[in-house]
Structure 1
Amino acid sequence: MTTETTSFVYVTYIVATPEKVFEAITKPEVARRYWGHENVSDWQAGSGWQHIRANDARTVELVGKVVEVSPPSRLVITWASPAQAADPASHSRVTFEIDDYDGMTRLTVSHDELQAGSSMAKGISQGWPAVLSSLKSFLETGRGLDVFGKKKAA
């Protein structure tokens, strides 16, 4: 039996160059300023990457492999929780397409191969809009949104 999958696509336009957008995704010291996490890798096809919380604990929250990299226009990575790292069948895929668009950059993030109804699928449908809105604010104003420290109490 095959598992049903779903996908999520988000498009935003950012007043910044494609190079700045690519750098914001791949440079740990930049990503922590709008995401609260660092994306750590050498960004070579086949290499691993880690999504590390930028706090004292430095918790690895996501892992994956770099599938394709073509700076500054395209980055494809696999995406999984550390508990799923050893099971490639459980990994989803994220594609960042970064295009020059009339003096701006169009960023399209496609997250696919998600298990339908999974907690990961539910989480990214809320997470990506917040992260990408913060990225846009950061690149356009120098200040990301404070959306990551405001989880509702259970």
Structure 2
Amino acid sequence: MDLKYQFYIAAKKEDVWQILISPEGTKKTVYGSTIRSTFEIGASIDYVGPGKDGDETVYLYGNVLEFEPNQVLSYSEHPGPSYYPDHAEHTTRVTFTLETVGNCTKLTVINDQWSANHPSRVHTENNWPVILSNIKTYAETGSTLDLGW
């Protein structure tokens, strides 16, 4: 059930990293949501944006498991409370890893440790390629994909 994706991006690790951890970067690349966290181990991490509860809809929330600047970000994840009444029971883990390869950055994402019968599994599998393509395009060009949404 693990999801794993690898993208090669013609940008420096530091630039890709900023897209992953900055509110501006996630707003551009993750469906308009902004990331909120201090990134200390154990700290909360939330992706918040426009949705069912208005501009402050929590898309996903969890806790930071690992944080090594420009190298690794890992966190537990639950779907936002407005999407499932039993949201706290549904969990998974997301790990971003960055490596320099030549003049590029290899971005690996592993989404694993899915709880049984997680209702967002298929939706998430379809969303990762869009998010990662947006990250790649934004890092390389300064613009995101125009998907007509």
The normalised TM-score by structure 2 is 0.87
5+ unaligned residues in a row in structure 1: which ranges? 1-5
What aligned pairs does 1:78-117 form with structure 2 within 5 A after superposition? 78-83=76-81, 84=86, 86-87=88-89, 90-115=90-115
The alignment status of 1:23 with 2:21, answered yes or no, reads: no
What aligned pairs does 1:48-127 form with structure 2 within 5 A after superposition? 48-53=44-49, 57-83=55-81, 84=86, 86-87=88-89, 90-115=90-115, 118-127=118-127
Q: 1:131 to 1:20 in 2, by over 3 A?
A: same
For these two proteins, the number of residue pairs brought into alignment is: 142
Distance 1:145 1:37 in 2: 16
Letter in 2 for 1:52: V
Q: Is the 8 A contact 2:61 2:79 kept in 1?
A: yes
Q: Which residue does the alignment assign to 2:39?
A: 43
Q: Is the 8 A contact 2:33 2:49 kept in 1?
A: yes
The normalised TM-score by structure 1 is 0.84
| Percent identity (aligned) | 29
Give 1:118 deviation, angstroms: 3.5
Q: Is the 8 A contact 2:94 2:112 kept in 1?
A: yes
Q: 1:54 to 1:9 in 2, by over 3 A?
A: same
Deviation string 1:75-98 (CA, Å, 9 cap, x unpaired) is 1111111335644xx310000010
Give 1:116 deviation, angstroms: 5.8
5+ unaligned residues in a row in structure 2: which ranges? none
Distance 2:118 2:133 in 1: 24
Q: Is the 8 A contact 2:78 2:88 kept in 1?
A: no
CA RMSD of aligned residues (A): 1.9
Letter in 1 for 2:46: Q
Task: Decide which moves more: 28-37 or 127-136.
Answer: 28-37
Deviation string 1:113-142 (CA, Å, 9 cap, x unpaired) is 124663311011110000000110011111
Q: 1:133 to 1:116 in 2, by over 3 A?
A: farther
Q: Is the 8 A contact 1:94 1:111 kept in 2?
A: yes
